[in-house]
Amino acid sequence: MPFPMQVILIVGATGYLLTALLFFIARTMPRTNPGAGWWGLSSLAAGTGYIALLVLGMSGRPELGEALYNTLFVVWIVSLYIGGSQFLYLKVNTKTLLSLAAVVVLWLSYFNHIQPEFLPAAVAVSLFCGLLNLHLAWLFATKMVRNSAIKKHWWWRWQSAASTGSTTRCYARLNRLLQSASHSAQSSR
């Protein structure tokens, strides 16, 4: 294994293990939003995966290191998803999610140990983890738009007024906002 790759894996593993420690500490603090424990498990799985890839890659068994890393990558993403859902106070069917993860891990194990072929295993892991990450990003984005400071932004208010059919008020409000912005820009010079 080349030296730059070793350095990347050591730095990555150290970062993830420290993050896991911080999440586990944050979990014990009062008024911490839920999900910190799952995020700690996610970081622990990522750090352990990097260590496995490093140790097994240096000992001459990189295929086993990749298989273990990919398995821990599935654990990493599932934990991240469950923690994010709990942070947003959303209900997630954990049993179904863990069952899907088990199917992906079985698929990965089959193509790593019984019929060693990289592409089907990589495609399954990438699709499963990528779709979970995209869905989690969508959950965060929609939750932020629904109840956060984004609604206080002038563009959001303008769009809301436009969607209710009051376009004359909307254009007048936009014109006032633009005039006040240009006036404040001129006064700051």
CA 112 to chain centre: 26
Under DSSP, the state recorded for 114 is I
Query: Percentage of the chain with pLDDT > 70?
Result: 78
- The residue-averaged pLDDT of 131-158 equals 73
For residues 123 and 121, give the distance between their C-alpha atoms in angstroms, rounded to a whole number: 6
Q: Is the pLDDT of residue 176 over 70?
A: yes
Under DSSP, the state recorded for 165 is T
Q: For residue 19, count CB atoms less than 10 angstroms from its CB and return exposed for 0-12, middle for 13-18, buried for 19 or more.
A: middle
Q: Is the pLDDT of residue 151 over 60?
A: no
Position 144 scores a pLDDT of 73
Q: 41's torsion region: left (phi>0), alpha (psi -120 to 50) or beta?
A: alpha
Report the first-to-last Cα separation within the chain, whole angstroms.
58
Q: What confidence tens digit (pLDDT) does each residue in 66-125 have? A: 999 999 999 999 999 999 999 998 999 999 999 999 999 999 999 988 888 888 988 999
Name the one residue in this structure whose structure tokens are 């194990």: 109
Q: Tell me which of 37-46, 104-113, 133-142, 146-155 is least confident.
A: 146-155
Position 94 scores a pLDDT of 92
Position 55 scores a pLDDT of 96
For the whole model, what pTM was predicted?
0.75
The angle subtended at Cα 87 by Cα 86 and Cα 88, nearest 5°, is 90
